[in-house]
Amino acid sequence: MRVVIAGGGMAGTRLAAEIRQRDADVAVTVFGTETRRPYNRVLLSNVLAGTASADQVCLPAPGGGVTARLGVTVTAVDRASRTVRTSAGDVEPYDVLVLATGSEPVVPPIPGAARAIAFRTMDDCDRIIAAAANTPGAVVVGGGLLGVEAARGLAGRGLHVTLLHHGAHLMERQLDAEAGLVLEEALTALGVTVRTGVRVSAIHPHGAELSTGELLESGLVVLACGVRPVVGLARDAGLPVDRGIIVDDHMRTADPAIYAIGECAQHDGTVYGLVAPAWEQAAVVADLVTGAVPEARYRGSRLVTRLKARSIELAAMGETHLTDDPGDAGGAVEVVCFSHRARGIYRKLVIRNDRLVGAILLGEAPTVGTLTQLYDRGAHLPGDPAGLLFNGLDAATPADSPLRMPDSARVCECNNVTKGRIRACWEKGARDAAAVVAATRATTGCGTCRDAVEGLVEWLSQQEEVRA
């Protein structure tokens, strides 16, 4: 079995590791456009802020037996001969080809856009950091998740940042108007000037011009205007493409030997732009191509958007824009909200048929783990829904000591890593956080669990010293 993966980002690297875990005899070759070791793109804003180094956000190696061709891109697919051609001039045969080509930044068609820097890759991050060293201020164009992350990262470096967004409020896809306002105020407290309802008409050598003619002077303009799936390779190979590469529940394209996963794939009409669905898809493909679980199928993902930074903690999931509506076609909708803008707190639960179908948690939210699990599992809500805004479930409320934390408690939501699994790894010899991460992949998703993982490892070490 020869598996070729076109794309060495978070999806392709994860797939290679999943395949190796299931079958050590499968020959896996990963072609990645970037010359760098694969890294966690989700944590680039930490690198931008200076709170993490490039090495600290690198992904664990997929293991022995995987050939990684860094800086080499798959340029063409010959479906008849089951071979790919690469930018290095090689012809590589495959039994299974997986397209994990990801997405590319959207650059608005405005004059001077080439003068700005799109925030997408580690190289982009390096360019932004270099430019930031020579200017006191920056303009970020785009108020979605990526733009918010870029703005808070640059503010963390001491720059005065102006964040421009054409929508009525920030992150309008994930947040309602009240949550968008609370987020704006949190960014303002970090030194970011937020301007919504504005459009950029041109980028000049010394700043950004608005459609009103106003010029915002700045030595650095960063674009965070969204992304689009990279589908050219699939289209040129004659595979069906819509917004993304069309796949079925096997994550298989119209060609049974070719799969697609991650941000380039379109499943059941949806293109997912977050890492968790890509990893779920990678697990399904690994199960199928190795024969480990022949009945494995991908049924879609329940999305949770996470952002955790200095003074900003955010989780948004599901149908966040619904309001109380007894006549909703899917069943009566109940909305429970709490807002405390002075403390930067906003919490909203959207409930239908006694199940959590959406939530926004902005600011300190000790029940985020409980609510994420309830949403992800589609479970019935226990007790008074309003209590979940503050107290969570008795079995899942944060423990004041790891001693009182059950082994079943999930520490890393992205990779489904429990306290018990971390303990088991520690007992097998993973005696520091880096070793636990390598064994479990904890912290390699959104990164918000890093403190908890490091705290558990430290506590386990202390317990051993006490016993000694």
Residue 121 above 80 pLDDT? yes
pLDDT of residue 327: 55
| 269/344 Cα distance (integer angstroms) | 36
Residue 190 above 50 pLDDT? yes
pLDDT of residue 371: 87
Q: Do domains 2-104+228-290 and 113-223 have the same CATH topology?
A: yes
Measured CA to CA in angstroms, residue 10 lies from 30, 140, 255, 392, 414 at distances of 12, 25, 24, 32, 13
* DSSP alpha helix (H) spans, 190-238: 232-236
pLDDT of residue 329: 56
Domain spans of the chain, in order of start: 2-104+228-290, 113-223, 319-389, 402-467
pLDDT confidence bin for 395, thresholds 50/70/90: very low
Which fold, 113-223? FAD/NAD(P)-binding domain (3.50.50)
pLDDT confidence bin for 464, thresholds 50/70/90: low
Could you report the per-residue pLDDT of 127-180, keeping only the tens digit for each?
999 999 999 999 999 999 999 999 999 999 999 999 999 999 999 999 999 999
Report yes or no: 8 and 70 within 8 Å, Cβ to Cβ. yes
Q: Is the dihedral of CA 428, 434, 439, 441 positive or negative?
A: positive
**With pLDDT > 70 as the criterion, what percentage of the chain qualifies?**
93
Looking at the DSSP assignment, which residues form a beta bridge with residue 355? 352, 380
Report yes or no: 16 and 91 within 8 Å, Cβ to Cβ. no
pLDDT of residue 404: 62
Report yes or no: 95 and 1 within 8 Å, Cβ to Cβ. yes
pLDDT confidence bin for 258, thresholds 50/70/90: very high
- Residue 12 CB: number of other CB atoms within 10 A? 28
pLDDT confidence bin for 397, thresholds 50/70/90: very low
Kindly report the pTM of this predicted structure. Answer: 0.86
The CATH number fitting domain 2-104+228-290, selected from 3.50.50.60, 3.10.290.10, 2.40.128.110, 1.10.490.10:
3.50.50.60
| 286/19 Cα distance (integer angstroms) | 5
Contacts 24+ apart (CB under 8 A), 456-462: 456/402, 456/411, 456/419, 456/422, 456/423, 457/422, 457/426, 457/431, 457/432, 457/433, 459/401, 459/402, 459/403, 460/402, 460/422, 460/423, 460/426, 461/431
| 89/315 Cα distance (integer angstroms) | 45
Which fold, 402-467? Arc Repressor Mutant, subunit A (1.10.10)
